[in-house]
Each structure stands twice: as structure tokens, then as C-alpha cells.
Amino acid sequence: MAGEIPDIVIGRLPIYLRELKRLTREEKTTTSSQELGRRLGISSAQIRKDLSHFGEFGKQGTGYHIEYLTEQLLKILHLTKKWDVAIIGAGFLGHALANYGGFGRRGFRIACIFDNNPAQIGRAMGELTVQHVDELEETIADLQIKLAIIAVPAEKAQEITDRLIEAGIKAILTYAPVPLKAPDGIRISYSDPVVQMQKMVYYLPPN
């Protein structure tokens, strides 16, 4: 069944989860597709349809029990345990990522960070120490890490990708502004702020 669920639906589940956690912090115990939709700018029908792929989570009239729906989404997304993550690149961006508390709060643990710059190696970054990139394969294998974030310059990104996959990495979030080649079964997710900005500029008056 999982294979038939559209990728775009899966992509919205983390957004629902994030908002449910926000509702919990606001000390709410129940919500509805209407309330979630209003808060997220998504139609309530869309939310109901998305969730219906995975079962019946709400009751007519009373809506969703937040704690229960949160638990179910964590199960669906395989987030009932923490996932270790390797960061490659300890420049400004790697530094920002290693220090971002959102990973720890939402299912991930930054387990190691690598660089090839002697000035960075050995430096403390959050609770981590920057390791030499030559230790990448051994550390990832030892810790059985499946997830990595690439924060290296574009020209190094494919080489690092190849090494990560060889070492056992199954999913990569990359900030390098370059398309990466990877075998089937390896997930790649891109983040390029310039692409996002350029897209928005299209919609602005040109002066």
C-alpha cells in the first residue's frame, strides 16, 4: 500500500506533525481538519484525504485527538526512534546545521561532522568535534548511519555523495547547488535558497 501513496502526500505529513506539536505546546488536546487547515493554509478536505491513506484518525464531530494522531504520524514516518545524521562540511552552513536544535527535537541526532580543512578539524561544534573527512567511511559504518547532509562546495558534492553511498548512507539532504547522481533506492533531497528566491522573483514586478 505504501508504494501507492503519492510522494506529495508523504511530504505533507511532516508539516502536519510539526503543527500538531505546536498545538500540543499550546496545551490543546484535540483539533480538527478545519483548524489544522486554517493554521497551515491547506484545505481541510486535503488534510482529510491525505490522512485517509493511512487509516481513520478522527471522529465525526470531535475531530482528532492530538496525542494519538501525533503518535500515528511518528509511526508512519518511522520517527519512533531517533535517526543518526552525518554532516559533511563544517563551514558556516555546517556550523549552523550542527547547532540547530530542531533536529534533536524532531527525530534526529547529529552524530558526526566532517571537513577537509585542517583549520576546522578538531574544532568543537555543539557537542561534536569536527572530524577529518577521511574518517567518513569508518565512522558511518561503525555508527550504522543511514542519513547525511551535504554542506560542501558544489564541485565536491558528487565525490562526497559517492563515498557516502559506498559507506551505507541511504538518504541525503544536499545544500550544494548541483544535481547529484545516485543509484536507485537512494533518496536525495535538495535545498538551494537561490532557486527558491529566483522562483519568487518571477512573480514580482520587474522593477
Q: Measure Cα distances from 94 to 65, 90, 162, 174 in Å.
A: 38, 4, 19, 11
C-alpha R_g of the chain: 20
For a second copy, give the closer residue by CB, 61 or 203. Answer: 203
Question: Following DSSP, what letter does each residue of 151-194 receive, concatenated?
Answer: -S-HHHHHHHHHHHHHHT--EEEE-SSS-----TT-EEEE--HH
60 phi-psi bin (left φ>0, alpha ψ -120 to 50, beta other): beta
Spatial distance between the Cα atoms of 77 and 22, rounded to a whole number of angstroms: 18
Q: How far is the CB of 106 from a second copy (least distance, A)?
A: 5
Q: Pick from 106, 123, 132, 163 the residue near a second copy by CB under 8 A.
A: 106
Which residues inside 16-35 make contact with a second copy, applying CB under 8 A? 17-19, 22
Q: How far is the CB of 166 from a second copy (least distance, A)?
A: 17
Which residues inside 158-197 make contact with a second copy, applying CB under 8 A? 170-171, 173, 177-179, 181, 187, 189, 191-197
Binding characters for a second copy, 65-104, by CB under 8 A (x = yes)? -----------xxxxxx-x-x-----xxx-xxx-xx-xx-
| 3-class state of residue 205 by DSSP | coil
Which residues of the shown chain bind a second copy in the complex (CB under 8 A)? 10-11, 13-15, 17-19, 22, 39-41, 76-81, 83, 85, 91-93, 95-97, 99-100, 102-103, 106-108, 146-147, 149, 170-171, 173, 177-179, 181, 187, 189, 191-204, 206-207
